[in-house]
Amino acid sequence: MRLAWLKTLADTYDVHSHLAGVMKNDQPVLLPLSHSTFQAQIEVTIDEEGNFIQAKTLEKGTDSVTMIPVTEDSAARSSGIAPHPLCDKLCYIAGDYSLYTGTKKEDCYESYMKQLQDWVESEETHPMVRAVWNYLKKRSLIQDLTKHQVLKLEESGKLTDKVKIQGSGQTGANVRFIVYGFDTPCVWKNQELYEKYDRYYQKKMRKEQLCYVTGQINSCSEKHPSKIRNSGDKSKLISGNDESGFTYRGRFFSKDEAVSVGYVVSQKAHNALKWLIQKQGYTRDGSAVVCWMTNRDMQIPDMMKDSIHACTELDEFDFDAFDEMEANESNRNDTGKYFAEQFNRAWNGYTAKIKVDDRIAVMALDAATTGRLSISYYDEMGAKQYMDALLHWQEHCKWRRFIKGEKGGDKKGYFCEYSPAPREMALAAFGTQRSNWLEADARLIRAVTNRLLPCITKKGMKIPRDLIQAAARKASMPQSMDDFVWYNDVLCVACAMIRFNYEKGGKLMDHFLEDHIDDRNVLFGRLLAVYDYMEQRAMFGYDEDGTRKEGRTTNAKRYWNVYSNRPAKTFQTIKQNMIPYEKKLSDFELQKFQDWTEEIMVHLAGKGFDNKALSEMYLPGYYLQTEYMKQAFQKKEQ
């Protein structure tokens, strides 16, 4: 079992250890060792002597997410008795729970109190812990909560789960404590308390074995943390509790022979991974992808976003120029060129801050089963290597598309050349339109994005051809979606994918039509563009502001899918259907379309004017010919 990722994450935790337990606004918290989180529903306030003061229910949100000390057993509990050391459910901490519910939970309470007393009597105790112990041993928690109207009783005098707290029944509520008389009265925010519990718990651990990560004899962990992707995630990266199945049996006699990881290393690695995912990870469709600098605190571009938004969260990236682009009307007609110039300037300024020894790690997690996570992709590389690969991806995979403006904001959308996000590529290949966007099965999206990760991080690796073909097939069905979604989210994305794999003398499709003047696939794509745009010019009117009026689908789009499979025969049908529309064109328009058709047919004649199915290369031929014709008419109209 390769455990390099554990060592890298543990080292990352050490780099940021000064942030452990530090809470700032709504920012993610790096958990201290031997700690986890739960969603608190009730907050109880007591004094230093353990006397009840007040209590209240908590609304669901970030403020109710509470950091708590845990044991190996309590952090992994699903059944059985395994109390948390301090904050826990009512059934563990309320000595009068059975009295008010009729459910026998004395064993849970006794186990909790015995564990808490052991901490109180240890060298690593804390006055706040003693105050909680003094209060709870009175066995009056539920009595106090009902007296102050925090919990509601039925007429029979029992707790009812018909009354909900944050959508859950009262009997299963999580409780946290505030102890007045201290500079930091909230037990989940007191850093001295974190440190004391960690030292106390590590002294309690006795099992020492060879740690496969460090190569040293240390106290090793049998149960590793969950809640990696989010607070409700029960899946684990390391698990070997299936002693009757074949998790490890067949190769090893015991799970310790399969893998043995030190407790401290496991805690550091898992806590660092949780923090990184919350802070800068991509979590969508059931997967999690995170990329981070391992040796120091420096933000890096997000490879899971398109090139426009990949750097928007970076403090080191100067975006003043991009704001100027929005404000300067003189740049509106050439946003692609202007954006590229400003982006390169900001990129060069950012990369100048990268040091020679900086390292970057990339990790993708996927749900192998309900209870287990898998690492679907992991790689480490130098920071400069990563930046070169990412820039290569953004430069070679870009295509001119429309950027939508912010909803309710002042910024309007505009056209610009940029690389699509991996998820957009997955949707372009396998998505189905729902309302005004594309959707696809989450498992399929995860599989595609995982296959695209090495294309981004390893310079020179191409996009798998089957993904490009799938996107080309989807782009060949324009009638299955509206024009904007088809054009912007499918056709343009498919062309971007084709461009990334494009190789012809080191060029980036700068002179694509000229370079493929005798390629039948490109020529048929250009021919389709001529007849599609010809019908658009003839059929659609324009409003006073210059926007095109809505109309029916063109013949080219109606026959598109058939055309891509039998181009020569289908072309004759489209040409025949275009006869009535030619009469609606001006003499200049008709002449231009005839000239373009003759030019293409001259090159196509004798070079494949047949019904052999077209390759995906006809798509950029269609797109670029359409753009060329639009520019020609714009110059004439100006």
Quote the tokens at residue 598.
């003759």
pLDDT in the model for residue 282 = 92
Phi and psi for 257 in degrees, rounded to 5?
-75, -25
Summarize pLDDT for 382-436 with one digit per residue, the tens: 999 999 999 999 989 999 998 876 655 555 677 888 899 999 999 999 999 988 8
* CA 369 to the chain's CA centroid: 19
* Class of residue 84 by CB neighbours under 10 A (exposed 0-12, middle 13-18, buried 19+): buried
Q: What confidence tier does 470 reach under pLDDT thresholds 50, 70, 90?
A: very high
Q: CA–CA separation, 335 vs 341, rounded Å?
A: 10
**Is 111 domain-assigned?**
yes
For residue 353, the number of C-alpha atoms closer than 13 Å in the C-beta half-sphere is 15
Query: Is residue 422 within a helix (H) or strand (E), and if so which, with residue range?
Result: helix 422-430
**Average pLDDT, rounded, for the chain:** 87
- Is the pLDDT at 6 greater than 70, yes or no? yes
The answer on 409 and 482 residing in a single domain is yes
Q: Which of 203, 236, 257 is the last residue of a domain?
A: 203
314-324 pLDDT per residue, tens? 776 665 545 54
In a domain, 213, yes or no: yes
* Paired tokens of 530: 């001529």
Domain boundary (176, 203, 230) is at: 203
Phi, psi (rounded to 5 degrees) for 479: -75, -15
Are 534 and 450 contained in the same domain?
Answer: no
Statement to judge: residues 313 and 250 lie in one domain: no
Mean pLDDT of the 481-489 span: 94
> In terms of domains, do 67 and 104 share one?
yes
- pLDDT of 541: 58
d(CA 211, CA 225): 17
Q: Which helix (H) or strand (E) holds 588?
A: helix 587-604
The answer on pLDDT for 308 being more than 60 is yes
> Does residue 506 form part of some domain?
no
Domain count, the chain: 4
Question: Which range scores top for mean pLDDT: 197-201, 203-207, 220-224?
Answer: 197-201
Say what percent of the chain tops pLDDT 70: 89
Do residues 395 and 322 share a domain?
Answer: yes
pLDDT at 12: 96
Tell me, rounded to whole angstroms, the distance of Cα 277 from its chain centroid: 9
Q: What is the pLDDT of residue 170?
A: 93
Q: Do residues 186 and 236 share a domain? A: no
**Does one domain contain both 211 and 272?**
yes
Reported as a single tens digit per residue, the pLDDT across 516-570 is: 899 999 999 999 999 999 999 888 655 555 455 556 789 999 999 999 999 999 9
* Distance, CA of 138 to chain centre: 47
Parallel, antiparallel or unpaired: strands 65-69 and 35-39: antiparallel
From CA 82, how far away is CA 181, in angstroms rounded?
A: 30
Q: Identify the pLDDT of residue 142.
A: 95
Q: What is the pLDDT of residue 503?
A: 75
Co-location of 453 and 582 in the same domain: no
In a domain, 225, yes or no: yes
Query: 146-180: per-residue pLDDT in tens?
Result: 999 999 999 888 998 999 999 889 999 999 999 99
**Residue whose C-alpha is closest to residue 398's, from 516, 504, 484, 508:** 508
What the block records as the tokens of 465 is 């051809």
* Residue 332 pLDDT level (bands cut at 50, 70, 90): very low
221 within domain boundaries: yes
DSSP letter for each residue of 438-479:
EE--HHHHHHHHHHHHHHHHSTTPPPPHHHHHHHHHHHT-GG
Task: Kindly give the residue spans of alpha helices, DSSP state H, lying in 205-316.
Answer: 255-258, 263-280
Q: Same domain for 335 and 463?
A: yes
d(CA 164, CA 152): 10
395 located within any domain: yes
pLDDT by residue (tens digit) across 281-292?
999 988 899 999
Q: What are phi and psi of 417, to 5 degrees?
A: -85, 125
Residues 143 and 285 placed together within one structural domain of the fold: no
Q: Give yes or no: residues 229 and 199 share one domain.
A: no
pLDDT band at 325 (very low <50, low <70, confident <90, very high): very low
Top pLDDT among 371 and 85 is at 85
Q: How many CB atoms lie within 10 A of CB 4?
A: 11
Q: Is residue 628 predicted with pLDDT exceeding 80?
A: yes
- The DSSP secondary structure of 288-315, one letter per residue, reads EEEEEESSS------TTS-TTTTTTT-T
Sole residue written with tokens 């990722």: 5
Asked if pLDDT for residue 86 goes beyond 80, the answer is yes
- pTM equals 0.88
In a 3-state reduction of DSSP, which class is residue 363?
strand
Closest alpha carbon to 166 in 43, 37, 45, 58: 58
Cα–chain center distance at 43: 33
Task: Say if residue 221 is in the same domain as residue 325.
Answer: no
Last residue of a domain, one of 148, 176, 203: 203
Distance CA 561, CA 574 (A): 13
Residue span of the structural domain in which 55 resides: 33-203
